């Protein structure tokens, strides 16, 4: 009889609808990591010497580092020698020149993921770079953007075609020595997106990269670099999915953003890597370093993230507010259901005068999920009149999950104003019953409450994606209450 069921206790596994595998022939390197692996990756990509040198420096530095253990997440040790560091769908020697040459199986894969790449069905107003395992398979609207001087291409293309820009900016925000995972990425990164918005240009469409891990036992190490010159504006979105597999897979990405005078970069992520099953088998380890440098005066960088996937998420998109009057923003929704763990947050480093930052973090835990917010606000001595506002909210569904908050604050300038607010709330059975009694099904009630809770963050997303994010949240929490 349904009246005796406790709706919050009654957990069932939700379906991950992106869990399929595409059968393609791949060109992979054997598992394991040493200097030869790196030379091989670099050679496969026909990279110039400076790139290989940089990778090797990173690798040698990585050998001296140890994996960080401070995050509030738990997992078995990762065997870095069992990972395949490069896997690409086989293609003709020079890569596809146009979409017609792209393997139809790959196009179909993206179609199934809701990211049509071919001309007829391309997403209106959104240019897409599609990254499949270690390589970019297609980038749409390249020419159209090119007319305005906007460069949007795979990272590999950028290394070959715009080596000066890459040389100048690669590692300028996240140096190869930065941290264990970023350093590993610097050594072995395979592909990713490169965007360059020239002076005074407002990028006419959303730029987006869709990351897909397909091959088994493969790590994905992508690298994204976005440069907005003086007065430029760009809105960029990344999405991610992976097949359902019983083994964990490592995803260690690096994203670098650079905003010059009055430039604005809006970076949105909808992260839906495979989270593992209800018992915690499989899923992606999402260990990511994302940082933006507001180098110019009045520049602005906004991070918006909706993190619903991955077995473990370890990520702190940060802003270094160097230019006077620069602005950093971080809006985050992080969901952990079943056995998922997330340790995520941001760092706002105030260096310039009159710099301001806003942090809005919404954690949602269901099932046995563990959700930690870790945020640092650092006001350096030079940052007169710096301002920060932080709001960290946690929402619990059921009583087996957890929410934790670790705010760090370091203020060295007495004129700074820093505010922090935190709340923890719970979706109660009585709230759900109240909704039921008005005719709403339990899942709709949960979605309504959760969406209301996340409203502030969703409204930061580009329209098309806000709707997607809402749906995704519904799917992620599907079955989290009976």
Partner 1 sequence: MNPLLEITNLSAAVDGKPILKGLNLTVCAGEVHAIMGPNGSGKSTLAAVLAGRPGYEVAGGEVLFDGANLIDMKPEDRARQGLFLAFQYPVEIPGVNSTYFLKAALNEVRKARGLPELDAMEFLDLVRARMDVLHLDQSLLNRPVNEGFSGGEKKRNEIFQMAVLEPRLAILDETDSGLDIDALKIVAEGVNKLHRSDNAQVVITHYQRLLNYIIPDYVHVLHDGRIVRSGGKELAYELEERGYDWVTDHVKSERPELAAA
CB of 391 to partner 1, least distance (A): 13
CB of 2 to partner 1, least distance (A): 6
Q: How far is CA 394 from CA 123, 345, 359, 360, 459, in A?
A: 34, 13, 14, 11, 18
The residue written with tokens 């398979």 in the block is 137
Stretch that binds partner 1, among 1-9, 158-166, 260-268, 335-343 (CB under 8 A): 1-9
12 binds partner 1 (CB under 8 A): no
CB of 432 to partner 1, least distance (A): 9
Spell out the residues 6+ positions from residue 233 whose beta carbon is closer than 8 angstroms to its own.
Answer: 197, 201, 202, 203, 263, 264, 265
**Distance, C-alpha 170 to centroid of its chain:** 18
CA distance 378 to 358: 13
399 binds partner 1 (CB under 8 A): no
471 binds partner 1 (CB under 8 A): no
123 binds partner 1 (CB under 8 A): no
Among 3, 66, 81, 94, binds partner 1 (CB under 8 A): 3
CB of 85 to partner 1, least distance (A): 44
# of chain residues touching partner 1 (CB under 8 A): 29
Return the structure tokens found at 216: 């088994």
Residues in contact with partner 1, shown as a per-residue x/- string from 411 to 450 under the rule CB under 8 A = --------------x--xxxx-xxxxxxxxxx-x---xx-
The residue written with tokens 């929704």 in the block is 333
Q: Is the Cβ of residue 250 or residue 466 nearer to partner 1 in the bound state?
A: 466
Q: Is the Cβ of residue 217 or residue 470 nearer to partner 1 in the bound state?
A: 470
Contact call for residues 37 and 52 (beta carbons, < 8 A): no
Q: Is the Cβ of residue 143 or residue 430 nearer to partner 1 in the bound state?
A: 430
- For residue 283, the cross-strand partners are 248
CB of 330 to partner 1, least distance (A): 20
Sign of CA dihedral 158, 160, 162, 164: positive
How many CB atoms are closer than 10 A to CB 144? 13
Residue of 357, 310, 343 whose CA lies nearest to 476: 310
Q: Which of residues 447-466 bind partner 1 (CB under 8 A)?
A: 448-449, 451-453, 455
CB of 468 to partner 1, least distance (A): 20
Among 7, 192, 296, 479, binds partner 1 (CB under 8 A): 7
Sheet containing strand 417-427, edge to edge, reads 135-139, 126-132, 206-212, 233-241, 264-271, 300-307, 327-336, 356-365, 387-397, 417-427
Q: Which of residues 298-317 bind partner 1 (CB under 8 A)?
A: none
Q: Is the Cβ of residue 100 or residue 444 nearer to partner 1 in the bound state?
A: 444
Judged by the rule CB under 8 A, the positions of this chain that interact with partner 1 are 1-7, 425, 428-431, 433-442, 444, 448-449, 451-453, 455
């Amino acid at each position: 009889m349904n009246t005796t069921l406790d709706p919050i206790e009654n957990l069932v596994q939700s379906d991950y609808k992106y869990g399929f595998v595409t059968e393609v022939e791949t060109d992979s390197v054997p598992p394991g990591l040493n200097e030869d692996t790196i030379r091989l990756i670099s050679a496969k990509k026909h990279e110039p010497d400076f790139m290989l040198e940089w990778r090797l420096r990173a690798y040698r530095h990585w050998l001296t580092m140890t994996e960080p253990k401070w995050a509030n997440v738990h997992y078995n040790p990762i065997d870095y020698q069992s990972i395949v560091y490069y896997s690409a769908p086989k293609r003709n020697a020079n890569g596809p020149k146009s979409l017609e040459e792209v393997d139809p199986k790959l196009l179909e894969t993206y179609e199934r993921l809701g990211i049509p790449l071919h001309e007829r069905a391309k997403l209106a107003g959104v240019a897409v770079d599609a990254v499949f395992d270690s390589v970019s398979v297609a980038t749409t609207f390249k020419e159209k953007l090119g007319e305005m001087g906007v460069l949007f291409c795979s990272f590999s293309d950028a290394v070959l075609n715009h080596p000066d820009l890459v040389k100048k900016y690669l590692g300028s925000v996240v140096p190869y020595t930065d941290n264990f995972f970023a350093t590993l990425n610097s050594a072995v990164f395979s592909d990713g997106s490169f965007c360059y918005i020239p002076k005074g240009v407002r990028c006419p469409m959303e730029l987006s990269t869709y990351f897909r891990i397909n091959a088994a036992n493969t790590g994905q190490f992508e690298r994204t670099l976005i440069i907005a010159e003086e007065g430029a504006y760009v809105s960029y979105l990344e999405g991610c999915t992976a097949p359902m597999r019983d083994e964990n897979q490592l995803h260690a990405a690096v994203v670098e953003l650079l905003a010059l005078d009055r430039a604005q970069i809006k970076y949105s992520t909808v992260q839906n890597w495979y989270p593992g099953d209800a018992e915690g088998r499989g899923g992606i380890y999402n260990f990511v370093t994302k940082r933006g440098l507001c180098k110019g005066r009045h520049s602005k960088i906004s991070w918006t993230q909706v993190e619903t996937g991955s077995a473990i998420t370890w990520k702190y998109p940060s802003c270094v507010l160097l230019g006077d009057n620069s602005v950093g923003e971080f809006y985050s929704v992080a969901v952990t259901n079943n056995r998922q763990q997330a340790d995520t947050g941001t760092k706002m480093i105030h260096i310039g005068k009159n710099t301001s930052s806003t942090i809005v973090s919404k954690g949602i835990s269901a099932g046995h999920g563990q959700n930690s917010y870790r945020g640092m606000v650092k006001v350096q001595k030079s940052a007169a009149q710096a301002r920060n506002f932080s709001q960290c909210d946690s929402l619990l569904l059921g009583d087996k999950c957890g929410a934790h908050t670790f705010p760090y604050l370091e203020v060295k300038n007495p004129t700074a104003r820093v505010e922090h607010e935190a709340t923890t709330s719970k979706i109660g059975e009585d709230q759900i019953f109240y909704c039921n009694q008005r005719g709403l099904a339990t899942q709709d009630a949960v979605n309504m409450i959760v969406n209301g809770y996340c409203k502030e963050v969703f409204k930061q997303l580009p329209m098309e994606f806000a709707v997607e994010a809402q749906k995704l949240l519904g799917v992620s929490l599907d079955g989290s209450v009976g």
